[in-house]
Amino acid sequence: MQRGRGKVRDTTITLAHGSGGKAMRDLIQDVILGAFNNPLLAPLEDQAVIGLHELARGGDRLAFTTDTFVVHPLFFPGGDIGQLAVNGTVNDLAMSGARPLYLSCGLVLEEGLPVETLRRVTQSMRAAADLAGVSIVTGDTKVVERGAADKLFINTAGLGVVPTGVNISASRARAGDQVIVNGYLGDHGCAILLARNELALETEVETDCQPLADLVATMLSVCPDIHCLRDATRGGLATVLNEFAQASRVAIRLHENALPLREEVRGACEILGLDPLYLANEGKLVALVPAAFAEPLVAAMRAHPAGQQAAIVGEVVEAPAGVVMLNTGFGGGRIVDLLVGEQLPRIC
Amino acid sequence: MKFIDEFRDPVKAQVLLKEIEQLVGRIERARALPRPLQIMEVCGGHTHAIFRYGLKQMLPPAVEFVHGPGCPVCVLPMGRVDDCLSLAEQPGVIFTTFGDALRVPGSKQSLLQAKANGADVRMVYSPLDALKLARENPQREVIFFGLGFETTMPSTAMTLLAARRAGVRNFSLFCNHITIIPTIKAILDSPDLHLDGFLGPGHVSLVIGTQPYEFIAGHYHKPIVIAGFEPLDLLQSLWMVLKQLAEGRSQVENQYARVVPATGNRAALAALQEVFELREFFEWRGLGSIDHSGVRIRAAFAEFDAERKFSVPNLKIADPKACQCGEVLKGVIKPHECKVFGTACTPETPLGALMVSSEGACAAYYNFGRIDISGLRGNAPELERRAAV
């Protein structure tokens, strides 16, 4: 099979690249295979065929997930849409305790997208997949007319294997469980806001986008009975904890002073009237664990590159069921509710 | 954060809370109070801070905050939102405004819903961003929906001055700015008034100074303290109001003197004077029409006035019958005492605008205060111990 740079002569994506003809074949062989090549993808069949015996060695259940990535801008401080598309799906698998193995990649390209942009994004996906230890084994490409999409959308689906005995679920929180996060909150949401350049703030915050499967494996080795685990993406920490509190019919109490927040993120939130508890993250997880395991778990997480600022930020209590509360650093208390709509900056 | 964390020191808060408790005791001994002391925070930013920091739970039950009319989004009548929609739906228009104005319900839809239905509605952080959009899109008409009290008014005035200097022809303002003093007066004249004192708006006062409030202390004999927005600012301001009440005084005091000069900001006031003039009356959500409480654009700036440039229906739409926004705004009832609070009216389906903005009293009550979490001050004994050291 001939592939490599140079087969695609156009500098921008045209409708021909989605037509099923030679232009499309060249694009796939050159840009897509050029980045993702591996033995399962290389035959370019309509499906990847995966041996069951190999999967069964890793555990007794499959984890299967999908997510679609639409972000503006495509490139932002510390990351890009390709890295997000890999880590987002890898992390969704990891939150069941699964070891992520295989990803699919569906690309929706807007006519006029520079081919070079697609190259950068696919190379970034490859680098992220290598780091997370997964292979991109099947995919699809569609081109839509200019205006029908915003430059580039990516869908990724993922397969992973859940080790025997691991049983993580949003409904398993129990009174006494401790709430743990693996580091600074809100970096990704803040980085995207600042990268849109609508605010003319000079502070630069980088996305926290990172794969979490290896950190989760480390956590499971210390505490095999993690009750709840979720990555705090859209909606942030507040949303995840509300989901846990409602699914488990418990209350969760957070301590404002214990929340790891960068000064830059706190500052940007102050200026904009936003609450960092609701800002998106792309490399942060929230775990509810039995109290006896909390401190050794945090110690192990801090020794891992993806958990250096891990902290215990709250605990599960019995009542009022379904409610998340915050002890403010000032000595008061308030409810941390689900957000209605998007956070919108306040008028004054 | 420097200049922020100093105003959030929980140990200092405990000291102030002790003194507040003592003052309340003095006031209770001096007058047999049939009801809690009601202190109105005029400004929506204060309402937000009170809930965000959980100040309500920290205070003695004999003190109540009453959440006043100072959220400009909340007091916007439905007809005005419909006027915005009518402007936003005109061909060729880019309609711009601040984030939290986008969700306010009109009689049929909000600006966010209009955007989803195809209107070119954009959120901006400043009217200058709207002017920039106009310069970047000379073939389009850019309208800025200006709202807010004296806090946001100067930036709108400065933007019109900049637009005139630059000769921009495709930019206009739909002016819905309102002014605080007539509104406070209307509240003070209300026959069902229970208020004992006021926390004056910090940002507004940065522009107008402290002198315009003299009538509150002089004529109506109510204490008012201009307050900052950090939790210690609010506690200290409350302490100052209570001290006046305990000593039988009613004066205008300035807790926010690090920002607010007594005479206001001359440059901002001059810009307001040049661009705006008072309207005879202006409709407020829940409060009805209040004389001289809104401003319009002077004739000299007519070319930038969306009300002159476009046909604006100027709709009058009555508030939904079940809503008791007016009584909440005047402090006659608490948000949760409204007939539709939390049932027909929630942040997801707001009937009244007080449920829309995060600064609105009802939304703040719903989001932060609808469940009794009075047991949440788990760290108070530790803080008291530190305060005593």
Query: Over pLDDT 70: what percentage of chain B?
Result: 93
β pairing state of B63-70 and B93-97: unpaired
Q: Do B203 and A329 touch (CB under 8 A)?
A: no
Q: Distance from A215 to chain B by nearest Cα, in Å?
A: 31
- Residue B373 pLDDT level (bands cut at 50, 70, 90): low
Contact residues, B window 58-87, toward A, CB-based 8 Å cutoff: 58, 72-73
Averaged over A175-202, what is the pLDDT? Answer: 88
Is residue B331 predicted with pLDDT exceeding 80? Answer: no
Helix (H) or strand (E) holding B95: strand B93-97
Is residue B212 predicted with pLDDT exceeding 90? Answer: yes
pLDDT of residue A347: 58
Q: Are B207 and B153 in contact (CB under 8 A)?
A: yes
pLDDT of residue A200: 65
B375 vs A334 pLDDT, higher one:
A334
Q: Distance from A322 to chain B by nearest Cα, in Å?
A: 11
pLDDT of residue A346: 62
**Which is nearest to B69 in space by CA: B303, B323, B362, B384?**
B362
Is residue A292 predicted with pLDDT exceeding 90? Answer: yes
Q: Do A347 and B148 touch (CB under 8 A)?
A: yes
Is residue A168 predicted with pLDDT exceeding 60? Answer: yes
Q: Do B129 and A273 touch (CB under 8 A)?
A: no
Task: Give the chain A residue whose CA is nearest to the CA of B201.
Answer: A348
Residue A262 near chain B (CB below 8 Å):
no
**Tens digits of per-residue pLDDT, A192-221?**
888 876 666 777 899 999 999 999 999 999
Q: Distance from A317 to chain B by nearest Cα, in Å?
A: 11
pLDDT of residue A344: 67
B319 vs B124 pLDDT, higher one:
B124
Averaged over A102-129, what is the pLDDT? Answer: 97
Q: Write out the two tokens for A169.
A: 């679920």
B193 vs B114 pLDDT, higher one:
B114
Residue A202 near chain B (CB below 8 Å):
no
Is residue A339 predicted with pLDDT exceeding 90? Answer: no
Averaged over A151-170, what is the pLDDT? Answer: 97
Residue B189 near chain A (CB below 8 Å):
no
pLDDT of residue B383: 40
Q: Write out the two tokens for A29.
A: 């062989």
pLDDT of residue B33: 73
**Which is nearest to B227 in space by CA: B22, B45, B18?**
B45
Lowest model confidence (mean pLDDT) among B56-65, B262-271, B361-370: B361-370
Q: Distance from A323 to chain B by nearest Cα, in Å?
A: 9
For residue A48, CA distances in Å to A38, A64, A135, A159 come to: 11, 15, 11, 12
Show the 3-state SS of B254-303.
ECCCCCCCCCCCHHHHHHHHHHEEECCEEEECCCEEEECCEEEECHHHHH
Measured between beta carbons, which residues in chain A are less than 8 angstroms from residue B52? 328, 334
Helix (H) or strand (E) holding B203: helix B202-208
Q: Do B231 and A330 touch (CB under 8 A)?
A: yes
Q: ∠ CA A142-A143-A147 to the nearest 5 degrees?
A: 130
**Complex prediction ipTM:** 0.79
Is residue B382 predicted with pLDDT exceeding 60? Answer: no
Measured between beta carbons, which residues in chain B are less than 8 angstroms from residue A194? none
- Residue B389 pLDDT level (bands cut at 50, 70, 90): very low
Mutate to test the interface with A, among B53, B58, B76 (most CBs of A within 10 A): B53
Read off the pTM. 0.86
How many interface pairs between A and B have CB atoms less than 8 angstroms apart? Answer: 117
**Tens digits of per-residue pLDDT, B48-68?**
889 889 898 899 999 999 888
Which residues contact residue B270 at a Cβ distance below 8 angstroms, ignoring those fewer than 6 apart? Answer: none
pLDDT of residue B378: 42
Q: Do B358 and A347 touch (CB under 8 A)?
A: no
**Tens digits of per-residue pLDDT, A31-54?**
999 999 999 999 989 999 999 998
**Tens digits of per-residue pLDDT, B308-317?**
999 998 888 8
Chain mean pLDDT for chain A: 93
Residue B357 near chain A (CB below 8 Å):
yes
**Tens digits of per-residue pLDDT, A234-271?**
999 999 999 999 999 999 999 999 999 999 999 888 87
Give me the residue label for tokens 């001050």.
Answer: B377
Is residue B352 predicted with pLDDT exceeding 80? Answer: no
Sheet with A99-110, edge to edge strand ranges: A61-69, A152-162, A99-110, A135-144
Measured between beta carbons, which residues in chain A are less than 8 angstroms from residue B358? 273, 346
**Tens digits of per-residue pLDDT, A223-232?**
999 999 999 9
Averaged over B356-372, what is the pLDDT? Answer: 75
Is residue A289 predicted with pLDDT exceeding 80? Answer: yes
Q: Do A328 and B53 touch (CB under 8 A)?
A: yes
Query: Over pLDDT 90: what percentage of chain A?
Result: 82
- Residue B379 pLDDT level (bands cut at 50, 70, 90): very low
**Which is nearest to A251 in space by CA: A316, A298, A300?**
A316
**Which is nearest to B197 in space by CA: B156, B177, B227?**
B227
Residue B373 near chain A (CB below 8 Å):
yes
Averaged over B4-9, what is the pLDDT? Answer: 84
Is residue A178 predicted with pLDDT exceeding 90? Answer: yes
Please tell me which of the candidates A320, A331, A347 has its beta carbon nearest to residue B10: A331
Amino acid at A19: S
Residue B207 near chain A (CB below 8 Å):
no
Which residues contact residue B12 at a Cβ distance below 8 angstroms, ignoring those fewer than 6 apart? Answer: B232
Averaged over B181-201, what is the pLDDT? Answer: 90
Is residue B384 predicted with pLDDT exceeding 80? Answer: no
Measured between beta carbons, which residues in chain A are less than 8 angstroms from residue B348? 340
